[in-house]
Structure 1
Amino acid sequence: MPTVSVRLPDEEKDELEAVADLLEEDWSTIIRKSLRDGLHDLRVRHAVERYQSGDVAVTEAARLANVTVAEWLEIAREKNLTVQFRREDLEREVEAAHEL
């Protein structure tokens, strides 16, 4: 596993220490969890923006968010997004379902 160095402002370092103490975990574990969760949130936020603007449909939004179509539909429901299925998306999903 590669090592990465990062400079943190004092307040973020203090927050890192507080969360590590709260969860009784070491800094490395908290940083890895935070990075994983943060990257997921950034991907979802980007997918939501692209989906809302009409740039992408359901399948592509799910790919951008790195989730399944079912998970994307749940995200869309939670965020009160209007589901936009194109005919091609439905056909692709039907074909994928047949392959299962």
Structure 2
Amino acid sequence: MGTISARVPDELEDELETYLEDENIDRSTAVRKLLSERLEEWRHERALEQLADGTITFSRAAEVAELSVWDFAQLASERDVTWVADDHVDDDLEAL
């Protein structure tokens, strides 16, 4: 496991301390949890953007998001992302 060190503004550190108390966890666990959650959100957003731009297929977007195609379909629906395009339908059906 790698180590990450970062300087943060005092306000952010104060908020982290509040988070630690509320969640009753140690600093390392909190930072790992927050980083992991944010990276998961970033993967989802990145996949949705690429799908909406038409640069990747639906099935590839699900892979980028690290979700099953069914879970990714739900996410795309919740975010109102249109993913059916004539030029990708065959690729998506073939991948399923």
Superposition TM-score, scaled by structure 2 size: 0.88
**What CA distance in whole angstroms lies between the structure 1 residues aligned with 2:69 and 2:50?**
15
Residue 63 of structure 1 and its aligned partner are, at CA, apart by 1.3
**What CA distance in whole angstroms lies between the structure 1 residues aligned with 2:82 and 2:4?**
40
**Pick aligned residue for 1:88 from 71, 87, 91:** 91
Counting only pairs closer than 5 Å after superposition, residues 40-59 of structure 1 correspond to structure 2 as 40-59=40-59
Unpaired stretches in structure 1, ≥5 consecutive residues: 94-100
Q: Which residue of 1 aligns with 2:22?
A: 22
Unpaired stretches in structure 2, ≥5 consecutive residues: none
Aligned CA-pair RMSD? 1.3
Whether the 8 Å contact between 1:44 and 1:64 is mirrored in structure 2 is yes
Q: Which residue of 1 aligns with 2:64?
A: 64
Give the letter for the 2:58 counterpart: V
**What CA distance in whole angstroms lies between the structure 2 residues aligned with 1:5 and 1:43?**
23
SS at match of 1:7: coil
Give the letter for the 2:90 counterpart: R
SS at match of 1:86: helix
Deviation >2 Å, runs of 4+: none
Higher relative contact order (CA 8 A, sep 6+): 2
Give the letter for the 2:82 counterpart: T
Superposition TM-score, scaled by structure 1 size: 0.85
SS at match of 2:22: helix
